[in-house]
Structure 1
């Protein structure tokens, strides 16, 4: 029933977040925090290459892994357009295995980690990251803090593809569970051609949140050390507001 970033969702993502689009300065921040790394880097949840391609153009050796085949197909097209090459892997972040490949850094921007459905899978993902890092390698990832939206919140947006085609995007909150620390959205992507509905994609979109101390303890339990917390892409600046983007950096 549900898609995970299918064709229509990927099209909307490309419209709203094309290659090189910096979200509140995240590309510059990640570039600065990766400075000095000359070995391989893995971008988990690479998507269509929004951050991957600028990092490659700066000279970093970045590979990508993502669950969505549609996203990876667009990423390959974007690599071709920019005359770049790298390895892309289609797999789930929880259990991907790249053989004997290890990395000097693994990055997971745009709070993608919050899409992992429960605590058990979150631990499995962090453990998988740890196992794919070289000794002395580091993990950098973003999180969103808890927020309290209105239960009635529902939005509809349209994206014009051509004179005859439009994609509408509807986002509804289905549930908020404060004990399980997550919010669930129902997303509907609809393609209209000459005013007629020709395709629909449904996506269940779960966002899980973590407290700062909670996530630090999770990283430590997996084996990470020298854990740093930053906010709004200002390194080593502790958050003061729950609406800020939180970035964790931890070392193996």
Structure 2
């Protein structure tokens, strides 16, 4: 890992994001600043690996180096179909006993870090400190106490299958968003992730405040993927 980071160092420094790490247009309404804040943490719960990958699509395609840590068997083909530029993605599946050192090194060197699982308190604090210092946006699959933005996949369902036949064509996902500061007011949004053309797009406008509690859940197809 150290040798890889050393080889990439010149490119990593040139690819640092600006004030915000960009996200796909369909995802902007989930975030209070319509992008990912460098140095801040976004947590994703409810089983949204596809949502994590989608959050990295615009960043990687505009030159920001991204890293994914702890995702065993990450679907790179699916990531590419969602818009992730694989030439700007480094995947570390299982660093074993060197997990802590690897996480800190990635947070120090990359513009966006996708992380599976929440580290214990002391390491979590160190990782957050390194990310703030280096300007790395961190997106975590799991709960992260004190996360700036919290995204939760409320429901998800595939369409395309009838009575035992057909093909999976699109997945509709309902996502709620909350957090601290500007993100405190809860919002809920319906997404196609992906739609029938493989793209990520909004399936309905974001609903804020009390209306989010009354928002209708995502339409369920014949097959629900959990």
Q: TM-score, normalised by structure 1?
A: 0.34
Bigger relative CO (Cα 8 Å, ≥ 6 apart): 2
Which structure carries more strand by proportion?
A: 1
Which structure carries more helix by proportion?
A: 2
User: Which is higher, the Rg of structure 1 or of structure 2?
Assistant: 1
Q: TM-score, normalised by structure 2?
A: 0.37
